[in-house]
Every structure is written in structure tokens, then in C-alpha cells.
Structure 1
Amino acid sequence: MSRHTASSLTATQKTCRILAVLSDPRVNRLTDIADRTGLDRSTALRILKELEGEGFVERDPVSKVYVLGPQVYAMHHAMVHGISVRDAARASLIRLSRRFGDTVILSVPTGCESICVDLCFGDYPIRANYLDVGSRRPLGVGAGSLALLADMASEEVAAIRQAVDAELLRRYPRYSPARLDEELALAHRRGHVMLLDVVVEKMGGLGVAVRGPDRRPIAALSIAALTERIEGRESELAEALAREARDIEHAWMPA
């Protein structure tokens, strides 16, 4: 693409071209990005900094390379074979919240975090309103987030644990990396997650992963409630969540 052509692009078009070339992992330095998009270095740098600020691009401070950021992966995980995970899960959220009366949450993984992309409140007087749509947590913090981490391949978990453990030490004094290890082991034995009194005192959650066509976790269903309401219904909640997760997965199975 010529410099003359690039100069006639709108700001949106320039941004889209930068995101497009970053899909090639070999194009990761400012010089290469500017060359492939036809933009001058100053323009490319300005857009990259703006994208980095919004979470669409990340820059390694040591190697100086640019890669696609967590917001891009959040959008990717929200769609599977043209089907919106949020749309596919909506009926499940409604059924679960009506049946049990508590808050039901849909989360997706992005980088070292999970994002709440939908939730549905039940009619129980005390609601788990500490998590809103768009809220982010380190993977492993909260039942749905822990269900995602527990269902990931061991090499993927190892790659993100340094960042996750640092956030636990900084933001969650009651939830040490050692405690996370224990909860992961329990999740593998149970086949589901039950996390109590970690994020909010006297509140807990139970969660299961939702897998994509490649069997990797692309979302998690979880129920948040008072700890006493979770403990007394663990088996019933786990069975219902697992059934709904499998129903969601059927949305992208071949006919």
C-alpha cells in the first residue's frame, strides 16, 4: 500500500489495518507495522498507544514487540463458529436463576483474566451484586473464573500463573497462590468448582466450564449466593449447571 493511499484513509480504517496486520505474529515491531499498513511511524505509534490504552494491543516493555490485547480475545471468545456464546447461554441463565433464586453469571476468558459478559438475578432478597457485566477478575478469582482456569490445559495454566499469583498477592489477601493450588486440585476431583468466602465474606459460588468445539473452555456458568445457600445445595447446583453447560455446547455442534 502506498503512502499516498494511506494518507487518504480515515482514522477508523488506519486502526483496523493495524489490528489486521497484528494478526500475523511475525509483524510485531513498530517498523514492520508501519511498513505493512503503509502508515508513517508517528501515526502508527500514536494509534498503537491508543489501542494499548483501551486493551486492544499489548507492548512487551523488554522486547518492544506488539501483540493483540485482551479485548480482542474477549471478542473472539464471545463468538464460536458464528454463534454468540452470550445468546446461546441466555436461556440457561434465566432457567437457573428462576429455579434457584440466586445470581447466575456467564464469564469468558481473556488473557490472564475472566470477564463477566452476562448475568441474571434471581428473586432471593440478598443478591450477589458485586459483579457487573464487563467486570474483570484474575483467572481463578470467583467460581466461574476458577472453573475456566481449572479446565485449561496444564501448560496454559503454567503460562499465566505468574501474572495471576501476583494479582492475588496484591488484591486478594485471603486468597493466596497456595490456596489457589488447593482449589484447583479440589475442582479437578469434584468436576466442578465451589469457592466460598474468598472474594466477598459470607458469599460463595459454584461454577462449571463451557467448552468450544475444540474442547477448550470458552465460557463458564456460575451461581453466586450466600455461602450457606451454596453449601446446602452443592450437588443439586452442580448437576443443574453441568446440564445447562452441555446444552449450550450443543448450539455449535454440527447438525
Structure 2
Amino acid sequence: MGNTFVSEDPNEPDETRSGNGVQAVERVVRALEILAKEGSAAVGDMAEWMGVHKSTASRILGALETHGFVQQSSRRGKYQLGVGLLRVASSIPRRLSLVHTARPVLEDLAQQFGETVNLAVRRDVYAVNVDQAMGSANLATYDWIGNLTPLYATSSGKVFLAYLHSSDREELFHQIELKSLTPHTHSRQQLEKELPDIVQKGFATTHGELEDGLNAIAAPVFGHMGDVIGAVSLSGPAFRFEPEDDVVVKAVVSAGEEITERMGGPASHDRS
């Protein structure tokens, strides 16, 4: 059959005869990964990057083209990812509900520390909490779900600000009225000094900036396109909760990375 990967090079092992179907699958996956990274590539380049004979690369690309997973670009001889992949990918977003995916991670974090854990998304100039897990140590059961909280005074909000493009952040600052909600609320100057550190460290903290006596830490959640789609936060009263404690930081950052992975986002070493 036309889609069977049978070697035309007598010096190259035949995957079909050797029974090494796993190798064939790995080569197909590798071809798709290369095209996803490079945008387009000629058969010769694909062969070199994959470490196979040119005839093998041509056969793999031909099979993928038959099913619409790759297509020849306007520049003859070059291949790029095809629309057939959309048939497969289109079923993913329906299953990757952020709230549903993050829920077990939130519950584990709340159980570990006994404090309140929130999942937030950005809506214009606000961070909106879309889910919450309550820890056993809570003195009250305040429900943050649905609340619009200012970006500049919450740990989740700081995450969203920190990972925005500078021009988008500048535009947001023109829309935001930075009110002193407590004596600890940061000014714009303080925020702009703090935001680069948030990206470098991978988390943001607040110390009584939204409510006096309430501390919090948040880490970003990345989507499959590498953009920040949410933030997971852990908060508690200042008398017992230190957001920059090493154990707390490690747990919250790990929670963000776990939700990112479940959402199909890039691993931390793949993000610039």
C-alpha cells in the first residue's frame, strides 16, 4: 500500500520487515514536530534533521499529505502542517476546560496547606476567580468565586500584568485607577519595578495589598500557545501564612506547572 513505510534504500533497515513499528511512529511524530517548529521544510532538510535517508523522509511526508496532516506550501517542494490536524485538534478544547482540569490540583494544594486556593483568569483590568478550594485551617468560608479583583493588588493580577507585552501593559495602566486599598497597596512605580522579577522567579506575592492582614502567592498557568491563561493562588492570614516560604513557593509553582501540563501548555524549559 502507498502509505506503508518500506525503505527504498538498500542500506537502510526496513521498519516493516524488522517489525520496528515504534520507530516508524516516532519518525512521523518527529516530522510533525519539525514542521511545527520550522514552519516549512524541504524533503532534504527533513531527512537531515530526522537523520534518515531522503527517500524515507519523502515517504513519511507523502503519507502525512495523503491524510491532510501536511501540505505543500506555495514554494514548491516545501512542506508545512496541513489543515487535517485541525480535525484532531478541534476536539481538544472541549475537553480542556480550565476549571475542570485544575480542580484536583487546587484541592491537593488546599489540603496540603489548609489555606484558600483560587484559580483566576483575566477579564480586562480585573482578575476573576473562577474556582476555589477551601483548606481546613480557614477561619472563615469567604467565597471569592466570581469576584472582580484589581490586577495591581492581587497576586494573580500581578502575574497577569507581569506576563503582558509591555505595550499591552502600558495600555492597561492607562485604564486602571490605582487606588490605595490598604497602607500596603503598591504604587505604579513599585509595580513596574516588581513585575520583571515576577517573570524571572515564576510567581508573584502580596502582603496585605488587597486586604490588610491577607497574604497571597500566585503562579501562572500557560495554554498550548504559550500565553498565560490563568493563575493559581494560595492565600492566608498574615499571622500564619508567609507566601515566600520555600515550601509554599515550590508547591504553588509546581501546581501552576501541573495545570499547564494538563492544559497542553509548554514545559517550563520550553518557555522563553
TM-score exceeds 0.5: yes
> Which of the numbers 144, 151, 154 marks the counterpart of 1:139?
151
Q: How does 1:175-194 map to 2 (within 5 A)?
A: 175-194=186-205
Partner of 1:217: 228
> Which of the numbers 141, 158, 179 marks the counterpart of 1:169?
179
Q: Distance in 2 between matches of 1:92 and 1:127?
A: 22
**Distance apart, 1:251 and its partner CA:** 2.3
Unaligned 5+ segments in structure 1 are 1-79
1:128–1:211 distance in 2 versus 1, CA, 3 Å: farther
**Distance apart, 1:176 and its partner CA:** 2.2
Larger radius of gyration between Structure 1 and Structure 2 = 2
SS in 2 for 1:249: helix
Partner of 1:123: 136
Structure 1: 4+ residue segments shifted above 3 A: 170-175
Partner of 1:97: 110
SS in 2 for 1:99: helix
Q: Which amino acid aligns with 1:133?
A: I
SS in 2 for 1:126: coil
Residues 29-77 of structure 1: CA distance to partner in whole angstroms, max 9, x if unpaired?
xxxxxxxxxxxxxxxxxxxxxxxxxxxxxxxxxxxxxxxxxxxxxxxxx
Unaligned 5+ segments in structure 2 are 1-91, 266-272
Q: Which amino acid aligns with 1:85?
A: L
SS in 2 for 1:169: coil
Residues 101-129 of structure 1: CA distance to partner in whole angstroms, max 9, x if unpaired?
00000000111211110111101143473
Residues 109-150 of structure 1: CA distance to partner in whole angstroms, max 9, x if unpaired?
111211110111101143473x52100022232111211221
Q: How does 1:1-255 map to 2 (within 5 A)?
A: 81-82=93-94, 83-127=96-140, 129=142, 132-164=144-176, 166=177, 168-169=178-179, 174-231=185-242, 234-253=245-264
Answer 1 or 2: higher relative contact order, Cα 8 Å, separation at least 6: 1
CA RMSD of aligned residues (A): 2.3
**Distance apart, 1:87 and its partner CA:** 0.4
SS in 2 for 1:219: strand
Q: Is the 8 A contact 1:115 1:134 kept in 2?
A: yes
Normalising by structure 1, what TM-score?
0.61
Partner of 2:75: none
Q: Is the 8 A contact 1:107 1:221 kept in 2?
A: yes
